[in-house]
Amino acid sequence: MRTAPADIKGFAYRTVMRVTELPTVAREWRPDLNLLVRVASSTDMEALTQLGKAGVSNLALLTAEPSLYEKSEFPSVLELVEPLNEGDVAEVTPGRTGVHVLFRESDVHHTVFLTNRCNSRCLMCSQPPTRQDDSWLADEAIRVAMHMRISPKTVGFTGGEPLILGGKLREVIDAFATSHPDTKVDLLTNGRLLADPLLAHDLLSDMRHPITWLVPLYGHADFLHDFVVQAPGAFDQTIGGLLTLHSHGQRIQLRIVLVEPVLRYLPELCEFICRNLPFVSEVALMGCEPIGFALANRDTCEVDIFEWGEELEVSVKRLVRGGLFPVLMNLPLCTIQPELWRYAHQSISDWKRTFVAECDSCVVKNNCSGLFAWHEKGWRPATIKAIREG
Ligand code: SF4
């Protein structure tokens, strides 16, 4: 999540707002929306004040001018350094020195964070879970859906484990379905709680909105999957959840993060998937994000993917032979065999992605996932070497 440095005053509570320009307030205003209106001059300030006096409610001031901020009687945000964009959905919290950007129209990848709680403790978890009740995040997600001006092609729901929200998750999905019927949802979940028939019924009955369930599977047997997710019984529950999703006609992408214990048995796992889970739409093989628990478990998570080229190739070929669609994610092209490039995706979110100096002379840079920005802190998953010929 991006944070734009800012001074904040006059807000009583955490508020979701849409950034807008003064000339468009009349067109965009609705009583259930909060508008953060950009003002650059005292003339504009006067116009905003007139709108307030005329009864236009839920307006706040956004400015880069300290004098306007000081004099303002509206709840106000003073932009420092990095300006917010028109159409941004931002969260403003009293007492904070920054504004969280929850949605930006120009981004390629859009993610809605639903909870930080989780019932697993994966070795490479990029978002280490906490136990505190954060169910307000689901309400905030509903407000984000209302405040989004455009309907992007896809929105990703993530956590934590979103299924912990139970029926509230259905409310979030329905809010997006109502405000953005053409937006597909990618929902990242470990699938374990879907083994519970009651929760599955509450969540999935009459579900018509297009969702792809992104479900991690780390082993062909319980000893491996349960070890990677650090939760006894998880393998059986996840398989149960996958069967439930299939019985409700849901689209599934399996997600396999390529850490050392998983790579050791990757061909067996792909064989297991082909034989037992042939209904899944895609199988994503993903480079590990060097953040969170992965940094604490470097011995198992920091792998040179180039050294596992044979296992990767065998596994991809097995999936293809089984009629399944492999997707390679977070893997720089120079770290995998050219025969596998056709399966590689530019999967790293814009704001997380970086390239190194070596990439400047690389002819495939435009098609490459690049590296996670955090790799600059010392994580070297593989030797990066520019490709000279296409
Ligand atoms: S050198 Fe850089 S741009 Fe080229 S394939 Fe490797 S990571 Fe990608």
Average pLDDT value for residue range 67-96: 94
**Phi, psi of 154, rounded to the nearest 5 degrees:** -140, 145
Residue after which a domain boundary falls, among 84, 103, 122: 103
Average pLDDT value for residue range 239-261: 97
Q: What is the mean pLDDT of the chain?
A: 94
357 lies in the same domain as 295: yes
Quick: pLDDT tens for 190-212: 999 999 989 999 999 999 899 99
220 lies in the same domain as 288: yes
Instruction: Please tell me the distance from the alpha carbon of residue 75 to that of residue 78, in angstroms, as a whole number.
Output: 10
pLDDT at 374: 73
Residue 108 or residue 93, greater confidence: 93
- Here the tokens at position 356 are 């190194």
Q: Based on the structure, what is the number of domains in the chain?
A: 2
154 lies in the same domain as 276: yes
pLDDT band at 376 (very low <50, low <70, confident <90, very high): low
Residue 386 lies in a domain: no
49 lies in the same domain as 167: no
* Distance from the alpha carbon of residue 289 to the mean position of ligand 1, in angstroms: 17
371-372 and 353-354 beta bridge pairing: antiparallel
Residue 65 lies in a domain: yes
* Distance from the alpha carbon of residue 189 to the mean position of ligand 1, in angstroms: 30
User: Which ligand 1 atom lies nearest to the CA of residue 387?
Assistant: 4
Quick: pLDDT tens for 317-353: 999 999 999 999 999 999 999 999 999 998 887 778 8
367 pLDDT more than 90:
yes
Percentage of the chain exceeding pLDDT 70: 98
pLDDT at 109: 86
19 lies in the same domain as 127: no
119 lies in the same domain as 16: no
* Distance from the alpha carbon of residue 33 to the mean position of ligand 1, in angstroms: 43
140 three-class SS: helix
250 pLDDT more than 80:
yes
Helices and strands, number each (H, E), in the chain: 13, 16
Please tell me the pTM assigned to this model: 0.91
* Distance from the alpha carbon of residue 303 to the mean position of ligand 1, in angstroms: 17
Residue 382 lies in a domain: no
Q: Which residues have CB under 6 Å of ligand 1?
A: 332-334, 355, 358-359, 362, 364-365, 368, 370, 384, 386-387
Residue 387 lies in a domain: no
pLDDT at 379: 74
User: Measuring CA to CA, which residue among 156, 23, 45, 165 is closest to residue 102?
Assistant: 156
Residue 390 lies in a domain: no
Q: Calculate Rg over the CA atoms of the chain.
A: 23
228 lies in the same domain as 84: no
User: Which ligand 1 atom lies nearest to the CA of residue 368?
Assistant: 8
- Here the tokens at position 128 are 């280490």
Q: What is the CATH number of the domain that holds 281?
A: 3.20.20.70
* Distance from the alpha carbon of residue 357 to the mean position of ligand 1, in angstroms: 10
**Best residue for ligand 1 mutational test, from 305, 331, 337, 359 (most atoms within 8 Å of Cβ):** 359
Residue 183 lies in a domain: yes
194 lies in the same domain as 316: yes
Residue after which a domain boundary falls, among 77, 103, 129: 103
Average pLDDT value for residue range 201-230: 96
**Best residue for ligand 1 mutational test, from 365, 379, 385 (most atoms within 8 Å of Cβ):** 365
H helix intervals, the chain: 25-28, 42-53, 66-71, 136-147, 167-179, 197-204, 222-229, 234-247, 260-264, 266-276, 293-296, 298-301, 309-321
pLDDT at 364: 95
378 pLDDT more than 80:
no
Cβ partners under 8 Å of residue 316, min gap 6: 270, 285, 326, 328, 340, 343
pLDDT at 169: 96
Average pLDDT value for residue range 129-137: 94
Quick: pLDDT tens for 175-185: 999 999 999 99
pLDDT band at 390 (very low <50, low <70, confident <90, very high): low
Residue after which a domain boundary falls, among 62, 82, 103: 103
Instruction: Please tell me the distance from the alpha carbon of residue 19 to that of residue 37, in angstroms, as a whole number.
Output: 6
25 lies in the same domain as 75: yes
Residue 6 lies in a domain: yes
80 lies in the same domain as 138: no
258 lies in the same domain as 174: yes
Distances (CA, A) of 68 to 46, 98, 178: 10, 18, 38
190 lies in the same domain as 336: yes
Residue 202 lies in a domain: yes
Average pLDDT value for residue range 45-55: 95
Contact assessment for residue 253 and residue 282, using Cβ atoms and an 8 Å cutoff: yes
Residue ranges making up the domain that contains 336: 111-377
